Amino acid sequence: MSYRIGQGIDFHQLAEGRELWLGGVKIPHTKGAVGHSDADVLLHAICDAMLGALALGDIGMHFPDTSSEFKNIDSKILLQRTYDLVAGKGYQVVNVDSTVCLEQPKIKPHVAAMKTAIAGILRITEDDVSVKATTTEQMGFAGREEGLVAYASVLLQKK
């Protein structure tokens, strides 16, 4: 069996008047992430991890923020297209481990829905998707609630 590991990271600014999407789930909050798409940092980090595992470049290469095709796009579509690229290379996802760094809101009530959304697209079980969160103890841009960041690791297996 051939295995490949990928790691991804994504950052977005936070601003009033924007929706906050994390892991394919709309989270009620006074601020949302700013981006060309829906700015779902978690799904973007997972996409980058999958692409990186197979040395296929990054999310910006496949879904450029200069393209009107991707303006305000639902990042679940980007995750699906990334999965299709991975599957097209003969690989399947084994598991995902991820961490979101933000002060507010608390995402624990939404983690199960995020795991369901991610697992459904990647054709794995919810038990194969880890979504964790941490604060930065009020340090840095995330601590000041100016932005948020997500990290993801993905294990792929040759079918």
pLDDT digits (tens, 9 = 90+) for 116-143: 999 999 999 999 999 999 999 999 999 9
22's enclosing H/E stretch is strand 20-22
Angle at CA of residue 10, ends 7 and 95, nearest 5°: 35
Tell whether the model's pLDDT for residue 64 goes beyond 90. Answer: no
**pLDDT per residue as tens digits for the range 8-53:** 999 999 999 999 999 999 999 999 999 999 999 999 999 999 999 9
Question: How high is the pLDDT of residue 125?
Answer: 98
Three-state secondary structure call for residue 19 = coil
Q: How far apart are CA 39 and CA 91, in angstroms?
A: 26
Instruction: Output the CA torsion sign for 117, 118, 119, 120.
Output: positive
Tell me the domains of the chain and their CATH numbers: 3-158 (3.30.1330.50)
Q: Is the pTM of this model over 0.95?
A: yes
Question: How high is the pLDDT of residue 66?
Answer: 87
71's enclosing H/E stretch is none
Question: How high is the pLDDT of residue 67?
Answer: 85
Three-state secondary structure call for residue 81 = helix
